[in-house]
Amino acid sequence: MQELTHYINGEHVKGTSGRFADVYNPATGEVQAKCPLASADELAQAVEVAAAAQPAWGAVNPQRRARVMMEFVRLLNRDMDKLAEALSREHGKTFPDAKGDVQRGLEVVEYCIGAPQLLKGEFTDSAGPGIDMYSMRQPLGVSAGITPFNFPAMIPMWMFAPAIACGNAFILKPSERDPSVPLMLAELMEEAGLPKGILQVVNGDKEAVDAILDHPVIQSIGFVGSTPIAEYIYGRGCSNGKRVQCFGGAKNHMIIMPDADMDQAADALVGAGYGAAGERCMAISVAVPVGDETADRLIEKLVPRIEALKVGPYTAGDDVDYGPVVTAAAKEKILGLVQSGVDQGAELVVDGRDFKLQGYEDGFFVGPHLFDRVTPDMDIYQQEIFGPVLSCVRAASYEEALGLAMDHEMGNGTAIFTRDGDAARDFANRINIGMVGVNVPIPVPLAYHTFGGWKKSAFGDLNQHGPDAFKFYTRTKTVTARWPSGIKEGGEFNFKAMD
Ligand code: NAD
């Protein structure tokens, strides 16, 4: 059995707490590694190393820091298949999807190559007699990030790339369910030229997270994961005086207007609802067709597409639509919610409950499910299922559809499918959700824009990546400088006037 490590001060370090988490191969159900769970002492050792290494790194000019990012991009491309393979093996997502996970993180690293430009301050010449005023963006010191299982490459890179490009040291506490890729990323950053101690990986669970929240040297904390933990981390981190941004769960609605291209909408829903087994914070989990006729046409188009989905392990080839969910507990939770939908009166149009994959009976595979006539009081509507389950809520009008998405407590992403520019424009303007798609089911902003939800999907003021990241990982210092003038009329310099 492989025993994974922490990555501290440029070394793979064995865990000393004596506590471990099982890391599964979700396709077979086998435990393939043990992940060490750090104690507060182990976390404190990493913080000490980070605090000692950071001042020198913060003093390196931004262009040289950017060159490390450039080299890191080259190494990510070199090792793309190796990273994707390790990722699929622990997470279960298909090989092309795993490469996409690395690629989307890589794009944030590419954006960070612009650090010299992004870190430039402002300057006002002659703000008063002999007075200039300028601002600079300085690193915070030691930052930490706590990341979820569902994007073990992309989300760590969302955080550590801008933090490090800004001159901070960064401690990553990845998900204990798939920690191998984050460890590989830390090694690659050092191969790219990053000094030891600037990026460290401390594996762990709540104990390590609490140690991060309470450590006085850590200045900022980024979190991505479920909403209850996001709320907890935001509250405790802020009350300890840290800068905190937390991104939580989702329940993304897609509105289908009567004039939508129904084939396009159905294709989009199948990709967005079932891709990555629904384990995406930007997955569409609620379809809201407007009008019964639209709903009937949509269901008719959806059913054969869903029934044709190929579910399998990442090793079965690139035509697999989605793989297993991450753990047996995740599978159990999903099937429990499906049962609640049936019990509460939703119509289960595609039933994946008996799904079995020959040769992989112990894997955590979940068949695709489609519910129709879901109502807002049902658990499957209110809760994030995070599995291959799509719920259809029929709305009588556009206003009712809009109101549903507005009233849901989550506000990560949403989409409208229509041919009517006026409806699309009205929707984009009025909806209280952070990321909006118009005929685009998963409207994930690219690296040079910012990513973040509203309502219970995000806590804090600034979004992930894009220009916001450079604000989050720096603080502004503004200097007002006065140099009394010794220059007399006629240009002769009077040193005495300087006394
Ligand atoms: P999770 O909340 O269970 O875990 C996230 C991180 O928090 C992990 O590192 C975990 O070790 C840690 N953690 C877990 N329980 C904790 C506790 N009690 N105290 C302190 N730390 C704890 O989330 P997950 O299951 O890994 O990821 C799935 C969730 O993440 C979904 O809700 C999904 O919507 C969300 N997500 C959100 C975004 C976004 O940008 N909004 C992106 C990806 C995933």
- The CATH number given to whatever domain includes residue 404 is 3.40.309.10
Amino acid letter, residue 466: G
Pocket test for ligand 1, best of 150, 246, 463 (most atoms within 8 A of CB): 150
C-alpha of residue 321 to centroid of ligand 1, in Å: 24
Q: Are 250 and 413 in contact (CB under 8 A)?
A: yes
H or E, element range at 332: helix 328-343
Q: Which pLDDT score, from 0 to 100, does residue 498 have?
A: 52
Give the tokens for residue 349. 């149009």
**Domain assignment of residue 497, yes or no:** no
Total count of domains within the chain: 2
Pocket test for ligand 1, best of 151, 227, 281 (most atoms within 8 A of CB): 281
Instruction: Please indicate, yes or no, whether residues 34 and 67 belong to a single structural domain of this protein.
Output: yes
Quickly tell me which residue has 């190796």 as its tokens.
Answer: 82
Give me the DSSP letters along 238-263. Answer: HHTT-EEEEE----EEEEE-TTS-HH
**Domain assignment of residue 450, yes or no:** no
With a cut of 70, list the residues of the chain below it in pLDDT: 487-499
Provide the 10 A C-beta neighbour count for residue 338.
Answer: 24
Pocket test for ligand 1, best of 181, 202, 229, 334 (most atoms within 8 A of CB): 229
Q: Which pLDDT score, from 0 to 100, does residue 1 have?
A: 87
Closest to 222 measured CA to CA, from 209, 239, 211: 209
Question: Which residue out of 35, 246, 281, 392 is catalytically annotated?
Answer: 281
Instruction: Please indicate, yes or no, whether residues 284 and 227 belong to a single structural domain of this protein.
Output: no
Closest residue by Cα to atom 9, ligand 1, is 175
Q: Which pLDDT score, from 0 to 100, does residue 493 have?
A: 62
Instruction: Please indicate, yes or no, whether residues 233 and 365 belong to a single structural domain of this protein.
Output: no
Q: What tens digit of pLDDT does each residue of 143-199 get? A: 999 999 999 999 999 999 999 999 999 999 999 999 999 999 999 999 999 999 999
- Characterize 61-77 residue by residue with b for buried, 16 or more Cβ atoms within 10 angstroms of its Cβ, and e for exposed: ebeebbbbbebbbebbe
Distance (Å, rounded) from C-alpha 108 to C-alpha 302?
A: 34
Instruction: Please indicate, yes or no, whether residues 233 and 257 belong to a single structural domain of this protein.
Output: no
Quickly tell me which residue has 């047996």 as its tokens.
Answer: 328
Residue 382's contacts (CB-CB under 8 Å, 6 or more residues apart) are 251, 376
**Domain assignment of residue 119, yes or no:** yes
Distance (Å, rounded) from C-alpha 402 to C-alpha 436?
A: 12
**Domain assignment of residue 498, yes or no:** no
Q: Are 157 and 100 in contact (CB under 8 A)?
A: no
C-alpha of residue 128 to centroid of ligand 1, in Å: 51
**Domain assignment of residue 461, yes or no:** no
- Respond yes or no: is residue 246 known to be catalytic: no
Instruction: Please indicate, yes or no, whether residues 7 and 66 belong to a single structural domain of this protein.
Output: yes
Q: Is 397 helix (H, G, I), strand (E, B) or coil?
A: coil
Range of the domain at 142: 2-248+466-480
- 397's torsion region: left (phi>0), alpha (psi -120 to 50) or beta? beta
Instruction: Please indicate, yes or no, whether residues 280 and 238 belong to a single structural domain of this protein.
Output: no
Q: Which pLDDT score, from 0 to 100, does residue 72 have?
A: 99
Distance (Å, rounded) from C-alpha 110 to C-alpha 66?
A: 9
Closest residue by Cα to atom 39, ligand 1, is 247
Closest residue by Cα to atom 20, ligand 1, is 206
Torsion of CA 155, 159, 164, 167, to 10 degrees: 170
Instruction: Please indicate, yes or no, whether residues 229 and 332 belong to a single structural domain of this protein.
Output: no
Q: Are 197 and 9 in contact (CB under 8 A)?
A: yes
Instruction: Please indicate, yes or no, whether residues 94 and 199 belong to a single structural domain of this protein.
Output: yes
What is the domain-level CATH number for residue 139? 3.40.605.10
Distance (Å, rounded) from C-alpha 293 to C-alpha 290?
A: 8
Q: Which pLDDT score, from 0 to 100, does residue 318 have?
A: 87
**Domain assignment of residue 457, yes or no:** no
Instruction: Please indicate, yes or no, whether residues 276 and 242 belong to a single structural domain of this protein.
Output: no
Distance (Å, rounded) from C-alpha 53 to C-alpha 282?
A: 36
Give the tokens for residue 326. 């991450």
**Domain assignment of residue 451, yes or no:** no
C-alpha of residue 29 to centroid of ligand 1, in Å: 21
C-alpha of residue 209 to centroid of ligand 1, in Å: 11
Instruction: Please indicate, yes or no, whether residues 224 and 332 belong to a single structural domain of this protein.
Output: no
Q: What tens digit of pLDDT does each residue of 283-331 get? A: 999 999 999 999 999 999 999 999 999 999 999 988 999 999 999 999 9
Q: Which pLDDT score, from 0 to 100, does residue 25 have?
A: 97
**Domain assignment of residue 373, yes or no:** yes
Q: In what order do the strands lie in the sheet with 218-224?
A: 11-13, 6-8, 199-201, 169-173, 142-146, 218-224, 243-247, 458-459
Q: Which pLDDT score, from 0 to 100, does residue 494 have?
A: 59
Instruction: Please indicate, yes or no, whether residues 18 and 152 belong to a single structural domain of this protein.
Output: yes
Q: Which pLDDT score, from 0 to 100, does residue 420 have?
A: 98
Residue 375's contacts (CB-CB under 8 Å, 6 or more residues apart) are 345, 346, 381, 393
Distance (Å, rounded) from C-alpha 256 to C-alpha 439?
A: 9
Which residues' Cβ are closer than 6 Å to ligand 1?
146-151, 173, 175-176, 205-206, 209, 224-226, 229, 247-250, 281, 384, 386, 412, 453, 457
Instruction: Please indicate, yes or no, whether residues 8 and 67 belong to a single structural domain of this protein.
Output: yes
Query: What does pTM read for this prediction?
Result: 0.96
Cα 434 to Cα 252, 286, 405, 451, 462, distances in angstroms: 11, 17, 12, 8, 12
